[in-house]
Amino acid sequence: MKLKPALQELYNTAKKARENAYSPYSRHKVGAAVRLENGQIFSGCNVENSSYGATVCAERVAIQSAIATTGPKIKITDVMVVTDATPPWPPCGMCRQVIAEFAGNTQIHAANLSESVQTMSFTEILPHAFTPEHLIDSK
């Protein structure tokens, strides 16, 4: 499958990040890349821990990298997740909630090493997400 250039760049970035994954327990390397409204791309890989709850998914690492570099006022337009799985894996529930914090009109792309890609809108994978707007005082 031939990806459009903008999506190919996101895919290549996530695939490269995947190579650095630390996954001795699941043995599944995951790479992710997020594109912000301003066009900047940030990547991340999964980092597992023997205390499983301390494991951090690639999507969250990419988002945290974006925030660490540019500050907290980000809007994510695209998230690309690359695994070796068929069908490709979408973000887990915890990652979906973190994406919700910074989502706009966000597209989620789940891909594998064969460049098979499934694309869906963020609202498709997490309808009725709990967002910062829920915490705004409604007085």
Out of 19, 37, 59, 101, pick the active-site residue.
Answer: 59
Closest-CA residue to 134 (of 101, 104, 99, 106) = 101
Task: Report the alpha-carbon distance of residue 72 to residue 26 in Å, rounded.
Answer: 31
**59 catalytic residue (yes or no):** yes
What is the CB neighbour count within 10 angstroms for residue 41?
18
Q: What six digits make up the tokens of 1?
A: 């499958």
**Phi/psi of residue 122, nearest 5 degrees:** -60, -40
Q: What six digits make up the tokens of 111?
A: 């891909």
Q: Which amino acid is at 25?
A: Y
Are the CB atoms for 22 and 48 separated by under 8 Å?
yes
Catalytic residues: 59
